[in-house]
Structure 1
Amino acid sequence: MLEVDAALHPFEVSDLGGEALFDLISDARDAEFRSDRRKVRLAYQLCVTNPAGPGIDPATWGDGLPGMAGDYDATLGGEGTPLVARFVVEDWAAATRKSRGSGQQFLANTLDLHHRLPRTHARFEDLELELWKAFRLAEETHDLSLEAARWIDARVAEVGSYSFNAIAKAVKLGVAKFHPEKLEDDNGLPGKVDWDVSVDHNQGAEGTSTLEAIGSSLDLVKFHDLVSDEATTMGRLGDTDTLGQRKAKALGVIADRQASLDLLGVLDQDPPVHPETGEPVIPRKSYLRARLFVHLSLTDLATMCAASAAVESGGVGVVESNLFGPATTHLIAGYLKQLGADARVTPVIDTTKVWAVDVHDPPQAMRDQVTERDRHCVHPHCGRSSKTCDLDHIVPFDDTGPSGQTNPENLAPLCRRHHLLNTHGGWRYQRNRDGTYTWTNQHGRSWLVTDSGTVELT
């Protein structure tokens, strides 16, 4: 099977291997990036050379067809983009052999990318960003104001990740900051009007059903913690099922226990006592066991401390949390008030603390320090949250080695897949003095992983 490389030299694919193969794989990737950039440049040129104006109606999502009022009367690009002549969409669709709907979306994304998302557009132009990621951000911000779109664009660029989760988080923060009224709308997402718990017995094999719950984020986290705790206890008692299977079975265990308590009248006793031991049972206001990390600035903290004043003035602080994602300071303050005595506020985690232990598994405080320092798996281009990652010893732990091998500088979060890749796939990495990571694969190709993204070094 013959192909040609970038210099138009022919080669046989079946003869390739090792570094030569990886060079051509990279060439194919770069060629795809350049092809997408060329297509977007041509699409934009088509738009700007065919503007709407006096006597020329602008292209809209409905093009003024009967019964296509409302959103369909919106112009092709979002706020801040130039108007395009009405039938340019059809010209593009015909030339590219795409549907009209596909043409509308492509041209709209192109306009938004150029005029509303300048930092994303710059990365795309520099061949650092795939077209589908740039267009996804354009679609997610299309209905927002120009100010909101540019704020989200800057935030995603600063984070350095254009993953689904990173874009969703930035858009949610932008909506909360610039369009808080949209938080009250369903916006296509489930809201309080959709809260419900339902069981479907038709979605599984015999004896297996599905349970769906939509409700308060705080309530669902509390219940999930209860289920997880019960499943962990079942495992310690000898249950050999998987964690997921034990969590499913825990629902029945919890229901049976509650039924027994009700039957024995334990809850009616004052004070309540355990039915078997006779010991007093201290009632809890909340079962929430998960640790909530909230990233606050001094301004956010002041907003939480003066919540009533902020409400009256219309100010809303937005923070990031590990459990609920982007959230307003009022929401977090309300959760703390609801939890009451069960809420525990702990000091700020010092991500620069230097200390070590002489065991393989780091203590929880060290794990918290590392996962707050590195927010995601540190493998090139991986965006998996560090909260769900393994902590890997960069220099492998040696049972007969020196003391202090388990320390923050020798630990890094790796998702399970990349942990296995590092262990068995021939990849190696090191943590640099500035907190970045250098990775090298089995073919000698290297990458630098930073807080703002991944850079290929070879």
Structure 2
Amino acid sequence: MDSATEALRARRLAEVAELRLAIQWAVVQGEPRDDRDPMVTPGGDGTPSVREHAIPELAMARETHPATTRALIADGLDLVHRLPRTWAVVASGECEPWVARKVATLSRALLADQVALVDRAVARAIAGHAPSTVLEIARAKVIEADPETHRAERERSRHERYVRLSRADEFGYRHVIARTTAGDAAWIDAMVDRVADILALTHGHDHNRDELRSLALGWLARPADLFKLLIEHTTTSDGEQPAWAPDHLADTVDKLCALPAHKLARLRGRGRLFVHITDEALRTRTGVARIEGVGPIDVQQLHEVLGHADVTVTPVLDLQLRRRVDAYEHPETVKDHVWIQTGGDCFPYTPRTATRDGVDYDHAVPYDDTGPPGQTGPHNSGPLRRSHHRAKTHGGLTTRVVGPGRHLWRTPHGQAFLVDHTGTTRLSSSQAAAMADAIEDGVELYFTESWAYEQA
């Protein structure tokens, strides 16, 4: 039990040490190098600024995404400069650092002279109360410190509507999450219930109610099919048009019946889906397919994703071709080649959740208007989210394509990383230099454990 307590304290102090390092990095990188070096203020009012392009390099050293490291810097600066009483408790190892970081995030919108109220209350509670209690106190004090902003935020939230999709789980299913008015929510719920009642008649009793409601939600995306289903199962006792139907319903039904099939299909809209699958899996209907934005699914689940859609299949690209163009812009075929070859954002330690249309296609070696032909192609291109593209362009980072889907990154302070299908691997400076030199001669270099041992 003593060991458990010691381990707890050691873990807390290790997290404090991480916060201190992030704060110190912000101090070291607190002045711009020139007038084109942007400064950002990750923390709240009263905290110092930091060079924007210095954040990704620290993120690489920490083996995290830049957004994660930026949040660490912001929380550390807030604790030191805005929540000093709370920081004193955190630094002593007497509380959970993550709770203090959450308080820093909750209070970030407050001005420097307002946040003291939160600091005093949280510092008294954070070492002895449960995290949920501490966060409840923090939220109450944030409201008390700035009630007008809270009221404005509450009013703004009334207009914040959305429909979002979660990431796919390991079985290929996703959550649909929406924020809408209570009235619309009630009508949607009623329609889902109505369709589920109809499906219960056709699907037998081997489907539970929640499963039927889930299937019913999918019908809402097929208005023509849904309309037909409802009409077929909503009639009066004599089989005529339902009594609740508006006068123009008959005309609407006639118009729908007159539409050809391809126009009816347009009622449900169009989408673009990238499915990666082998010819063997497609032929045998066994194996795994990968859908961009969804993830890996069983091949037999493809019909659940594609549904009743009309599918246009694009030909498979031959990645052995040496596609190169002389223009700065990437043609669509080159983008497809680079995307399929790389499989996602090629920035170090970045999750492969980006989509093909959500990235920039960056020249690893900057394009030179007076340079040789064929500078644009998979040999010199990598997909990057816009923020990562900016960090590479302005932050002193360099990258080279050192093989199909292999990207070598080097930072101003000598760090080196290889991003490929296995993820991100840290390299020594000698490995990075050897790899860069080899590609100049058209040679792809792969390292073995024995090579690394000999170099050591």
Q: What TM-score comes out, normalization by structure 1 length?
A: 0.39
Q: What is the TM-score of this pair, normalised by structure 2?
A: 0.39
